[in-house]
Chain A
Amino acid sequence: MRESSSTPKLLQPLMNYSKAYYAFIGLLLGIVGLGTYAYATQLQNGLVVTAMRNNVLWGLYITNFVFFIGISHVGALMSAILRLSGAEWRKPVTRMAEAITACSLAMGAIMPIVDLGRPDRILNILLYGRIQSPILWDFISIGTYLTGSLVFLLLPLIPDIALLRDKLSGVSVLRQKIYRILSFGWKGTAYQHERLEKAIGVMTILIIPIAISVHTVVSWIFAMTLRVGWNSSVFGPYFVAGALLSGVASVLLAMALFRWFYHLEEYLTPRHFRNLANLMLAMIVVYIYFTLNEYLTPAYKWETAEGQLLGSLFTGEFSAAFLFVQVGGLVVPAILIALPKTRNILGYSVASVLIVLGMWIKRFLIVVPTLARAQFGDYWATYNPSWVEWSITAASIAGFILLYTVFSRIFPIISIWETGGITAEPAESGPSISLGGFGFPASQRFPSQDGSGFGGNSEVAD
């Protein structure tokens, strides 16, 4: 398609790369480069270049790990759960959520490897892996989730990629090639649509337990130890709730930014933001409930070691951070979402920023104070992350934004075929798809009477 005033809005970001865009990418690459240099330093000298030492033996890397894995949950929530519950408003939002999942999982999966003392021996996990170790559970569940969420991201992309393959002739040969390969010969026939929607249906169901297992297992890394502050049975659901909260907040933030920069006002309406903010408010309430469970029960008893740890959180060294998480990261966002005056996109965005920041600090407060309290000898270790750790942390955040931005410039960040942003499908594909109001024909949205709705049975077509 030649560039013209009739270029659909959703394709604009894929064609017009401004100078500002390249400058932004350059900035991100610079930060990633700094992180790479920091990691090279670490590879050369060992973990001694970090501030981690015997007591605080995990620090920012593991904090980032839990944080990114948490963010990644939103794909499963937004796409899968909303898809299943037939919430039609989700359509312009799902791909953003799924892309966040893939990008943050990629960063999250790197973090434990950065944290390893012997990354050169990473293959030992395959060669000598012990299934009894929670690290193996992590390895397996994150690997599965990464694969699953990439598939889940790709499947609903196929019709759009085919569209790009057919319409975007002005782009580089490489991109044309990518579109050709990733569209898997999509022609938009009724048969293809039927198969695709069955596949999406299967993934929709599969991805939910996988996602929940991932963050549960991440929490078990901590909860399977005897340490005060980690030795908690509520950690699994607590982590999942936190993951969903931070995930929804980051999607809302992404929506606001894309709406602003890509001028997507007609697709991302205030209604989308309101719905998402309501979801966020619900997650805040759930998270506060879990927080109460997590802290009130030991605080009431004030057992010696628990008391020392809680003291450091409530009134001691970590109290400012703890207070920020509870008030700045939960209460204030809840008020912002609830008050009529701030029930607008700006208010929601501020709330989201606070939540994401609060959740990162919360992860730090889960990892560090428990380790800082020496179990013998009554002393507290200090931990002030080194420039290497901060650089790698900055690089992981920049890397996440980079992946996400580049994705949004190569693929439409809003599903075109599902939102009906463009009618490019041949007529045979049926009205339920090309009109866009309806991604799932009613027959596919629920298992059909013979139960084959999600099963991918091929009798119909054969």
Chain B
Amino acid sequence: MKWAAGAALAVASGLLFSPFGGQSQILAAGSRAPSGSRRWSMVVDLERCNGCKECTDACIEEHDVPPAWGNPSYNGKQEWIRVVETSNDPNNGAPFLPMPCMNCQNAPCTKVCPVGATYYNDEGLVVIDNTRCIGCRFCIAACPYDRRYFNWGEPPHAPNEQFINYTPDYPVPHKIGTTEKCNWCSHRVRMGRLPACVDACRKEGMKALFFGDANEDAITNGEETWVLSEILARRGGYRLQEELGTEPSLYYLPPTGRGSS
């Protein structure tokens, strides 16, 4: 049976090292573990959110977000940041839950991608390469927060798109048959700007969305700057479905009083 063992070994080593290796994806830490010096984090002060959806609007405008093709949507568009109404109880201090991508540090989506099309970029943000995505939708099935969308049909294309040099940081032009999601405005973050939703929330006066680097322990909404660890401890910050072990980088601050906001 020597030949059989030899063949099995050859096949196994072939799988591990050569033909499926592609460029860098095979067993490469790069795609599966966040790397780089940044630990971008987002904080949502639920007490301040009034459900106005300016964040969603700004996001749609920023990315020319494709249609939702009949899915629950906002103005017919995919809701990369979705404001979920969690309660219609007037005494509930926080009836709205804005949900962008959770940017999990143990992301189920990057785990299951067969071609490494969704991965952590060098800013540590989960992005999608829509030139590589094969459209299997496994990542959408795997996301426990329903934060991924699919371009079921051909997305509309604005004339100025042709001048945009596509990068996974800024997924325009959008492509049919590929997955889409919020990537925390990776293109803006790279330039030292706040994500579009955070900017919009401040401009609208809610100032509920904060963004910052956990390594610097500072977050800002563009106007106020807080110490991340301190505010999380003082306000009892929490993450969604902590028990799943996905390690989201997005924290929610529960309301302090009743009927405020």
Contact = CB atoms under 8 A, between A and B. Distances in A.
A27 interface: no
Interface string A20-51: 00000000000000000000000001111010
Contacts of A116: 134-136, 177
Interface in A106-155: 112, 115-119, 121-122, 124-136, 139-140
A225 interface: yes
B31 interface: yes
Nearest to A367: B141
Contacts of B10: none
Interface size class of B (residues with CB under 8 A): 35 or more
B154 to A, nearest CB: 6
B6 to A, nearest CB: 13
A221 B139 CA distance: 11
B152 A48 contact: yes
Contacts of A344: none
A220 to B, nearest CB: 10
Nearest to B84: A377
A379 interface: yes
A135 B136 contact: yes
Contact of A128 (B23, B140, B144, B152): B23
A57 B150 contact: yes
B16 interface: yes
B214 interface: no
Contact of A136 (B20, B82, B133, B153): B20
A249 to B, nearest CB: 29
Contacts of A130: 20, 25-26, 31, 113-116
Interface in B111-165: 111-117, 132-138, 140-142, 144-146, 148-154
A371 interface: yes
Contacts of B19: 126
A449 to B, nearest CB: 16
A33 to B, nearest CB: 24
A53 B69 contact: yes
Nearest to B15: A131
Interface size class of A (residues with CB under 8 A): 35 or more
Contact of B244 (A50, A135, A226): A226
A230 B108 CA distance: 14
B1 interface: yes
Interface in A76-116: 112, 115-116
B176 A226 contact: no
A140 B19 CA distance: 12
Interface string A219-235: 00100111100000000
B107 to A, nearest CB: 11
A133 B142 contact: no
Contacts of A224: 112, 142
Nearest to B69: A48
A325 to B, nearest CB: 22
A54 B99 CA distance: 16
A129 B22 contact: yes
A313 interface: no
A107 B31 CA distance: 33
A374 B137 CA distance: 16
A135 B117 CA distance: 13
A58 B136 CA distance: 9
A7 B132 CA distance: 58
B70 interface: yes
B32 interface: yes
B68 interface: yes
B134 A117 contact: yes
Interface in B80-120: 82, 84, 99, 108, 111-117
A306 B145 CA distance: 16
Given A58-B137, A117-B178, 10 more contacts: A46-B151, A53-B71, A55-B146, A112-B136, A125-B114, A128-B115, A130-B115, A226-B142, A375-B144, A375-B146
Interface of A: 45-48, 50, 52-55, 57-58, 112, 115-119, 121-122, 124-136, 139-140, 221, 224-227, 371, 374-377, 379, 381, 455
Q: Which 3 A-B pairs have the closest CB atoms?
A: A117-B135, A117-B177, A48-B153
Interface of B: 1, 15-16, 19-20, 22-23, 25-27, 31-32, 68-72, 82, 84, 99, 108, 111-117, 132-138, 140-142, 144-146, 148-154, 176-178, 244, 246
16 contacts: A46-B152, A47-B152, A57-B140, A57-B141, A117-B133, A117-B177, A118-B134, A121-B115, A125-B134, A131-B15, A132-B32, A135-B112, A139-B114, A221-B138, A226-B244, A375-B144
